[in-house]
Amino acid sequence: MKNLVLMFLLALLVVATASSLWRMFAETVTIDGVRPPLVAIGTDPVPPFPPAPPKPTN
């Protein structure tokens, strides 16, 4: 039981650290007033964020 509580607290600490990192760097960053791409995995080109609205079709 004691170990379970300890592990829960450790997990909470890791989530809090991750959340703080994300809030500090990813959420608030803007370049020329536009939000840059978020962190991701892969060697593909990252799509712009937020996405461009779809063009209206005639």
Partner 1 sequence: MESNLLHYVWQDSGILIEASLVFYLAWTSQWKGQGAVDFYLSSLVVGQLTRACFLHEYGWTSLRYYYAYWSTDFLLVLSAFGVVCLFFRRACLHEEKMWRLIRIFLVLLLVLVAAISGVSLSLNRHDFFTYFVVVFNQKLYFACLVLNTLLYLMLHRMNSADDQLELLVCGVGIQFAGPAATLALVYLTYGGRFAKLLAYQTIPLCTFGMLLVWAYVIVYVPRTAGGLTRRDVLLPAVPAQESKL
Contacts of residue 40, defined as CB under 8 A and 6 or more positions apart, other chains included, come to 46
Question: Residues binding partner 1: what is the number (CB under 8 A)?
Answer: 40
1 binds partner 1 (CB under 8 A): no
Cβ nearer to partner 1, comparing 41 with 58: 41
Q: Which residues bind partner 1 (CB under 8 A)?
A: 3-4, 7-8, 10-12, 14-15, 17-19, 21-22, 24-26, 28-32, 36-48, 50-54
